[in-house]
């Protein structure tokens, strides 16, 4: 059993906290808006601390799952941030989806405390997080990973060590580039079949049963077939953010990504009119709307 802090208790952070408690770890929680993690703490029997510094000071491993680059920088090196509580023997592990330079920018401050530091963004759904079956893409020193591994194995079925700090962040953006490409391709195939008169659910099941039927296609069925009822798994706002990060990283590396540019344009259009909190499968609705406009024109 290890002492583990989870900083950032949104959907994924909360799911990982549940997996960590179930694995027997002593878990403390910290969230910028405290009352949002009160129900989780009550359900799991966990303590809540007020600041990231307290979370790091009390823990062997501190996991952060945060919204964006600005949040990561503030939580790690801001006032009462993780660096203020980090200590020798501890490891800070950022699982957020951010630019690789973001985690690298806090490294000197964190390592000056004697603490280890890893970036370990995840691939997988909330349900996989809760069942401890996420895929982790890890950047950082092998010794830091070895120290954190018993905790990380409580939330992950597969851990890839990819290289130095920031490698995990780059790999997560590469994985998301594929996912967003699949999302757009799935939407286009589905609406094409619909436009020709094939019933939506049947068309979806045919796609899922064929060579294109990746696991992603299986678990996104509800969002594509019944978008007005299905729960939001990943919002258009977060998709737009990730696509921007992918585009920025590709530009810095001098690597053109034409499909990513198209996906970003479609996602931004789909998010217009107050729809940014809808699931990113909503791109199919945007394509249907374009067909309707073309027919009227």
Give the residue numbers annotated as catalytic, written as ranges: 172
Cα 8 to Cα 31, 42, 52, 292, distances in angstroms: 5, 16, 10, 41
Cα 76 to Cα 53, 58, 95, 165, 238, distances in angstroms: 9, 15, 13, 15, 21
Contacts of 65 (CB under 8 A, 6+ apart): 6, 7, 8, 10, 12, 13, 16, 95, 96
Residue pair 192/184 in contact (Cβ under 8 Å)? The answer is: no
Cα 112 to Cα 69, 132, 145, distances in angstroms: 21, 32, 18
From CA 186, how far away is CA 288, in angstroms rounded? 13
Percent composition of the chain: helix, strand, coil (DSSP 3-state, to 5): 55, 15, 30
Phi, psi at residue 66, to the nearest 5°?
A: -120, 165
Cα 171 to Cα 75, 175, 183, 212, 239, distances in angstroms: 23, 6, 18, 22, 16
Q: What 3-state class would DSSP assign to 169?
A: helix
Q: What 3-state class would DSSP assign to 166?
A: coil
Cα 237 to the center of its chain, rounded Å: 13
């Amino acid at each position: 059993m290890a002492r583990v802090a989870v900083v950032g208790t949104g959907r994924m952070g909360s799911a990982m906290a549940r997996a960590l408690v179930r694995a027997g770890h002593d878990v403390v929680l910290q969230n910028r808006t405290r009352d949002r993690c009160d129900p989780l703490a009550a359900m799991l029997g966990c303590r809540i601390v007020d600041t990231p510094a307290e979370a790091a000071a009390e823990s062997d491993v501190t996991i952060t799952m945060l919204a964006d680059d600005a949040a990561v920088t503030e939580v790690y090196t801001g006032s009462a941030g993780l660096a203020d509580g980090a200590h020798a023997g501890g490891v800070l592990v950022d699982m957020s989806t951010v630019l690789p330079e973001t985690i690298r920018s806090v490294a000197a401050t964190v390592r000056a405390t004697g603490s280890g530091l890893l970036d370990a963004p995840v691939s997988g759904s909330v349900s996989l997080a809760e069942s401890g079956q996420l895929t982790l893409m890890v950047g950082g020193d092998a010794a830091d990973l070895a120290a954190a591994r018993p905790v990380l194995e409580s939330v992950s079925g597969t851990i890839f060590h990819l290289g130095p700090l920031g490698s995990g962040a780059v790999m997560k953006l590469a994985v998301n580039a594929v996912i967003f490409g699949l999302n757009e391709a799935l939407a286009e195939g589905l609406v094409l079949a619909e436009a020709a008169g094939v019933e939506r659910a049947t068309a979806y099941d045919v796609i899922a049963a064929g060579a294109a039927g990746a696991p992603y296609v299986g678990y996104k069925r509800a969002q594509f077939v019944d978008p007005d009822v299905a729960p939001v798994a990943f919002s258009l706002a977060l998709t737009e953010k990730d696509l921007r990060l992918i585009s920025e990283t590709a530009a810095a590396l001098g690597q053109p990504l034409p499909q990513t540019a198209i996906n970003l344009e479609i996602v931004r259009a789909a998010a217009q009119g107050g729809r940014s909190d809808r699931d990113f499968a909503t791109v199919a609705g945007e394509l249907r709307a374009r067909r309707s406009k073309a027919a009227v024109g």
